[in-house]
Structure 1
Amino acid sequence: MIRFFRVIAFFLFIGCHLAFLLSILFEKINNVWLIAGIMISTALITYAYYHKNTQEEAHFLDDLQDIIYVSLGALLTYFISVDLKFGAVIAAGFTGTLASYLPAIFKKAAWIKRVPVPAYCGAFVGMTAPAVSSGYTFIIFSAFLTGALFITAKNVFNGFGGKLGTIAFGGVALSSLIVYLLL
C-alpha cells in the first residue's frame, strides 16, 4: 500500500513540474520544438528515475511528526509574513534559519534532528499570498496536504534541487483546487 502512495506522489511531483514548465512555456514561447523537447526530456527523466531502486520505510509516528513540523513551519511563516508584515521571503528565511539551528541548540534531543527539512518545506507553504489563501484555515489545510505529499515523496528525487518547493506548490495547488471545487 505504501508503494502505491509513493508511485502516486512520484507522478504528482512530475505532473506539478511539467504543468509549471508548460504553463511558462506556453505563455512566453510559441516554439513547438522547444516544448516538445522539454516534454521528451521530462518523459526520459521520469522513466529513468521511476526505475531507480529505492528503499521504502514505514514509520508512522515519524511521518506524523513530519506533518506536524510542516504545519508549524507553514504557520510560523504565514504569521511573520502576513500578521507581522515582514513579507514572504523574509518570513521563510527566518523560519528556515530557525529550524536549521534547532538541532545545534538542543543537542540532546534526538527527535529534533528531523525538524529542519519538513519545517522548511512548510515555510514554502506559508509563503502563500493572502489573495490565494483565505486565512489560517487554508494554510493549515494546505500544510496537511503538503505534509502528506512530503512523507509519500521521501525517497523521490533525493538530491535534486527544488523538491521542497515543488512539494509545497503541489500541496497549495491541490488545496486551492479542492477549495475551488467545493465552494
Structure 2
Amino acid sequence: MNAFIPLIYGLFLFGSLSCYSLHAFFNIPIVLAATMPALIGSFIPFNKQHKHHPYAAIYTGCFAGMCSVATVSALWEFIFIAAIGTLLYIKSINLFEGFGGRLGGIAFTCSALFVLLKGMLWV
C-alpha cells in the first residue's frame, strides 16, 4: 500500500498534464485530448494487486486536465490539483462503489477546490 498513493498521484498528474498539453499547445480538441492519454494508459500493464485503480487515476486526471487554459496554466497548479485529486480518489475508494460519476466528480471537485483556494489566497 505504500507505493499505491505515489502511483495514483503520478498517474493522475500524467493524465491531467498530458490532456492539458495536447489541447493547449497542440490545439487538439479537448475531448480527443482527453481520450488519447487514457487510451495509451489502458495498454500499460500494472501490478494486479492495484486492480483497476491505476487506469481510473489516469482517466480522472484526464478529466481534470480538461480545465480551461485561462483557469490553470502553470505546472505547480497541476501538481497541486493532482495532490487534491489523489486525496479525494483515495478517500472515495470505500465510499462509492463503481465508477458512475465518481471519476468526473473527483476531477470537478479537485479543480473547483483549486480555483477557489487560488482565488482566496493568491488573487
Identify the match of residue 63 of structure 2 among 124, 130, 133: 124
Of residues 95, 107, 110, the one that matches 1:171 is 110
What is the distance in 2 between the residues matched to 1:149 and 1:64?
Answer: 14
- TM superposition outliers: structure 1 runs of 4+ over 6 Å: none
- CA separation of 1:160/1:102 partners in 2, compared to 1, >3 Å: closer, same or farther? closer
Q: How does 1:35-46 map to 2 (within 5 A)?
A: none
TM-score, structure 2 normalization: 0.87
Distance (whole Å) between structure 1 residues aligned to residue 99 and residue 59 of structure 2? 16
**How many residue pairs get matched?**
120
Match of 1:91 among 30, 33, 38: 33
1:77–1:95 contact (8 Å) kept in structure 2: yes
| Equivalent AA in structure 1 for residue 47 of structure 2 | A
- Radius of gyration: which is bigger? 1
SS in 1 for 2:93: coil
More helix by share: 1
TM-score of the superposed pair, with normalisation by structure 1: 0.60
CA RMSD of aligned residues (A): 1.8
1:148 aligns to what? Answer: 87
Alpha-carbon deviation of 1:87? 2.3
Is 1:82 equivalent to 2:20 in the alignment? Answer: no
What is the distance in 2 between the residues matched to 1:85 and 1:138? 21
Structure 2 unmatched ranges of 5 or more: none
Taking the aligned partners of 1:160 and 1:102, their CA distance within structure 2 comes to: 20
Cα gap change, 1:102/1:160 in structure 2, threshold over 3 Å: closer, same or farther? closer
Q: Displacement of 1:134 after TM fit? A: 3.1
- Asked which structure has the greater RCO (Cα within 8 Å, sep 6+), the reply is 2
Given that 1:75 and 1:140 are in contact with CA atoms closer than 8 Å, whether structure 2 keeps it comes out as no
**Distance in 1 separating the partners of 2:28 and 2:99:** 29
